[in-house]
Amino acid sequence: MANTSIDENYQTWYQSHVRNSKTDEFAKVMKVFGEGICLIPLSLIAASTEYYFYSDEEASVITNWGKRSARAYLLGGPAMLSMQRITGASRPSETEDASRWKPFNDSNGVSGHAFIGAVPFLTIAHMNEENPLIKYLFYAVSGLTAWSRINDNSHFASQAALGWYMAWEATDTILDREKKDSKLTIIPLISHDRYGVCISLKW
Average pLDDT on 14-43 reads: 95
Distance CA 9, CA 15 (A): 10
pLDDT confidence bin for 79, thresholds 50/70/90: very high
Are 34 and 166 contacting, i.e. CB atoms less than 8 angstroms apart? no
- What are the extents of the domains in the chain? 6-201
pLDDT(196) > 90: no
Which of the two residues, 58 and 39, has the higher pLDDT score?
39
pLDDT confidence bin for 193, thresholds 50/70/90: confident
pLDDT at 65: 93
Closest CA to 146 of 112, 193, 176: 112
Distance CA 150, CA 168 (A): 19
Cβ neighbours of residue 195 closer than 8 Å, sequence gap 6 or more? 188, 189
pLDDT at 61: 86
Average pLDDT on 5-27 reads: 95
pLDDT tens string 80-131: 999 999 999 999 988 777 899 999 999 999 999 999 999 999 999 999 989 9
pLDDT(57) > 80: no
Cα separation of the two ends of the chain: 37
pLDDT confidence bin for 58, thresholds 50/70/90: low
Average pLDDT on 26-43 reads: 94
pLDDT tens string 122-180: 999 999 989 999 999 999 999 999 999 999 999 999 999 999 999 999 999 988 766 65
pLDDT(195) > 80: no
Distance CA 101, CA 85 (A): 10
pLDDT at 96: 77
pLDDT confidence bin for 198, thresholds 50/70/90: confident
pLDDT at 97: 78
Distance CA 162, CA 40 (A): 20
